[in-house]
């Protein structure tokens, strides 16, 4: 089973103590977002988890103790660093601070396990195509020695975003081509493998590869292991990732990003955060009499049990 810690919330930045405790105690509970009284239990022992996926905009809170997970599990880390400031990402550290933290992360886990995410790419009067290209090139130069690849996507114009960001300027195909061409050139200049994620359109002419951001090929190469040939169903249209099990919860991230899909509102996230107990197996609250607890289906994608054992014996 692939365990995902960061698709629904920034677990690393705001719930590190809880996450580390879950791995120490060896299990976690997670609520089904569509059926809240259905709670799934997952075993977190190394023989039950093929790899742990992280996605965060600030790894600083977990760095001092990250070895507790990284030394025992196969891992891969997505680090989102964009061009935006506090006007768009209120709870996110500055670009300079984020780059420093990423370099510290690389010292612990190695560049082969880190993907820099530059997404979503969106336009406003402040964040123009030219500003994106200049910022991306500057960041690419600094991050190239410390990352496995860079992943980007163009913003999806869903209804909630139109409400939360009325200043948003819709991307035209010409905008996308200019951005892809410029980013592709910068990535090539600094030796970065650049790929799209969940973005429709072929930008291979700019040296950009279409791929999932969390495929078994990526995880296997990063962790020196082999996985079975399994169809990647993806999480949504245009997604080519391997299926994973997320242990986070929606409406809990305090970053306050205006483009966020995982929060209905910053106010609701702040209110829900009050329900967090680091000692609970659930990210929010505890089990109730109305809840039904079931064991999760933790199938392995590894090529063979023998190879799984040999990884931990090395």
Positive or negative CA dihedral for 224, 226, 230, 231? positive
Q: Please state the rounded mean pLDDT for residues 170-181.
A: 96
Residues paired with residue 292 on neighbouring β-strands, in sequence order? 38
Q: How many helices (H) and strands (E) does the chain have?
A: 10, 11
- Could you give the C-alpha distances from 236 to 116, 232, 233, 239, 243, in angstroms and in order? 21, 11, 9, 5, 11
Which candidate, 128, 123, 112, 3, places its Cα nearest to that of 55?
3
Q: Please state the rounded mean pLDDT for residues 160-178.
A: 92
**pLDDT-derived band at 194, boundaries 50, 70, 90:** very high
Which candidate, 72, 101, 207, 110, places its Cα nearest to that of 152?
207
Query: Is the pLDDT at 77 greater than 50, yes or no?
Result: yes
| pLDDT computed for residue 159 by the predictor | 78
- Cα(61)–Cα(254) distance, integer angstroms: 14
| pLDDT computed for residue 25 by the predictor | 98
DSSP conformational letter for 12: H
- Cα(196)–Cα(205) distance, integer angstroms: 13
Query: Is the pLDDT at 307 greater than 50, yes or no?
Result: no
Q: Where are the domains of the chain?
A: 2-313
Query: Is the pLDDT at 205 greater than 70, yes or no?
Result: yes
0.85 surpassed by pTM: yes
**pLDDT-derived band at 290, boundaries 50, 70, 90:** very high
**pLDDT-derived band at 162, boundaries 50, 70, 90:** confident
| pLDDT computed for residue 272 by the predictor | 96
Q: Please state the rounded mean pLDDT for residues 29-49.
A: 97
Which strand (E) or helix (H) includes residue 131?
helix 129-143
Q: Please state the rounded mean pLDDT for residues 236-249.
A: 82
Confirm if 41 and 294 have CB atoms less than 8 A apart.
yes
Query: Is the pLDDT at 109 greater than 80, yes or no?
Result: yes
| pLDDT computed for residue 199 by the predictor | 66
Q: Please state the rounded mean pLDDT for residues 89-99.
A: 97
Beta strands in the chain (DSSP E): 2-4, 27-31, 38-43, 51-56, 75-80, 114-121, 149-154, 194-196, 209-210, 245-246, 292-295
């Amino acid at each position: 089973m692939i365990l995902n810690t960061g698709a629904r919330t920034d677990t690393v930045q705001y719930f590190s103590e809880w996450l580390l405790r879950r791995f120490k105690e060896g299990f976690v509970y997670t609520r089904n977002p569509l059926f809240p009284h259905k709670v799934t239990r997952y075993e977190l022992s190394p023989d039950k988890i093929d790899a742990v996926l992280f996605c965060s905009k600030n790894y600083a809170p977990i760095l001092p103790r990250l070895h507790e997970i990284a030394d025992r599990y196969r891992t891969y880390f997505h680090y989102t660093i964009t061009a935006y400031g506090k006007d768009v990402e209120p709870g996110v550290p500055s670009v300079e601070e984020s780059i420093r933290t990423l370099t510290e992360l690389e010292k612990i886990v190695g560049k082969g396990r880190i993907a820099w995410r530059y997404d979503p790419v969106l336009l406003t009067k402040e964040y123009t195509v030219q500003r994106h290209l200049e910022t991306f090139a500057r960041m690419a130069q600094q991050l190239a020695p410390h990352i496995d690849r860079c992943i980007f996507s163009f913003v999806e114009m869903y209804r909630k975003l139109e409400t939360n960001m009325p200043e948003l300027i819709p991307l035209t195909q010409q905008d996308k081509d200019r951005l892809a061409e410029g980013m592709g050139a910068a990535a090539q200049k600094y030796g970065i493998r650049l790929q799209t994620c969940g973005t429709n359109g072929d930008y291979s002419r700019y040296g950009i590869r279409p791929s999932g951001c969390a495929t078994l090929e990526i995880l296997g190469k990063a962790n020196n292991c082999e996985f079975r040939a399994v169809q990647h169903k993806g999480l949504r249209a245009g997604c080519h990732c391997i299926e994973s099990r997320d242990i986070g919860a929606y409406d809990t991230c305090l970053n306050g990003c205006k483009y966020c899909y995982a929060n209905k509102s910053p106010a609701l996230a702040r209110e829900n955060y009050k329900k967090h107990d680091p000692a609970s197996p659930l990210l929010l609250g505890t089990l109730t009499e109305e809840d039904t607890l079931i064991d999760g289906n933790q199938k392995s994608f590894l090529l063979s049990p023998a190879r799984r054992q040999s990884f931990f014996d090395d």
